[in-house]
Chain A
C-alpha cells in the first residue's frame, strides 16, 4: 500500500516539475504564447487545461486498457485475446476529448455558472490544444499500472502547465516596461524567455 502511495506521489511531482509539459515537451505552446499577456486570463486557461486533462486522461486510460491495447479485449473471451486495435487510438482519443469538452461545457453552464464564466472561451478551444492530446498519448506510452496512477499523472501535468503559463504571464506583464530591441519584441523575446525558464526548470532534474 505504502509503495503504491509513494509511486503515485512520485508520478505527480515528476510531471509537475521534471517532465513539465511546456518546458520539456513543448506541449500546448500555441495557446501558451497566445494567452499569456495577462496573469488573470493565463490562470483561467491553466485551470481549464488542468480540469480537462484530469478528466480525459483517466477516461482514455480505461479505453486503452480495455479496448485498444494488444490483448486488451481478452475480457470478452478467448477469441478476442489476439486483437490489437492500437492503430485506432489516435482517432478515438481525439473523439473522446472533443466529446468530453462539449459535455463539460454543457454541464458547467447548467450547474456551475461561475466556473463556466471564469473559463469562458478557453473551454471550447481546448479540444485542439496539443497539451490535452499529448497528455493522453504520453499516458499510453508510459503504461501506468492503474487508473489512479494515470489520474495523478494528469493532475500533475495540468498543474505543471498552469504553473508555467502563470509564471510566464507574470514575467510578460513586467516586460512591457523594459527596453527590448525593436525586432525582438513580441514573440521573439517570448521564446527566449521560455527557453531561459526551461533551463531554470532543469534544475529540478536532481530531485
Chain B
C-alpha cells in the first residue's frame, strides 16, 4: 500500500523526480484548466499503463518506445476529442498542452519503470496514483495563482469587494508565466524543509 501512496508526496513526480514539468506550469493560471489537465493526465497515465502492462510480454524490447508512443497518443487523442466535445472552452484554454501529454515524461517514465515489469492491476493503480500526485501539485499552484492573481477561485470572486475598496490589489505578476516556476520552487523548498526537520 505504502508503495502506491509514494507518488502523492514522498516520490511526487513533479516535486521530487522533476518529471512532467512542462505542462504542469503552463496550465496553472486558473483552477479549472488545472483540474481538467490533472484528470486528463491521470486517465491517460492509468489507461496506457494498463495496456502496456497487458502487452508487456509481447512487445519486442527494441521497438518498445514506438509502441509506447502510439498507445499514449491513442489515449491522448481520445481525451482531446472528449474535451473538445464536452468542455470546449477549457479545451481552447489548454490549447496545445493536451497534445503535449504525449511527451509528458511522467507517462513515459511510468511505462518504462513500472508497467513493463508489473502485472496489469498494480500498473493501473500506479498510473492513477502518479497522475494524482502530478495533479496535486497543479491544483496547489493554480489555487495560489488564481487566488492572489485574480482574486477568484474556480471563476468565483472570493476576495470581498470591501477589501478592494480599502485599497487591496490583485497581484498581476501571479498570472504571468514566470511566477509558476517560482511557486513550484517555493513548494520544493517547503517540502525539503519538512523532510529535513
Contact = CB atoms under 8 A, between A and B. Distances in A.
Interface in A163-207: 181-184, 187-192, 194-199, 202
B26 A25 contact: yes
B184 to A, nearest CB: 5
A201 to B, nearest CB: 8
A98 B70 CA distance: 11
Interface string B151-180: 000000000000000000000000011111
A198 B181 contact: yes
B77 A90 contact: yes
A33 B96 contact: no
B40 interface: no
A22 B93 CA distance: 19
Contact of A195 (B73, B76, B104, B179): B179
Interface size class of A (residues with CB under 8 A): 35 or more
Interface string B13-43: 0000011111111100000000000000000
**Which of B102, B103, B184 lies at the interface centre, i.e. has the most chain A CB atoms within 10 A of its CB?**
B103
Contacts of A94: 69, 73, 102-103
Given A191-B185, A195-B182, A202-B178, A183 B195 contact: yes
Given A28-B22, A29-B21, 15 more contacts: A25-B26, A25-B177, A26-B22, A27-B100, A87-B80, A128-B108, A130-B22, A130-B100, A137-B96, A183-B188, A184-B192, A188-B186, A190-B185, A195-B178, A196-B182
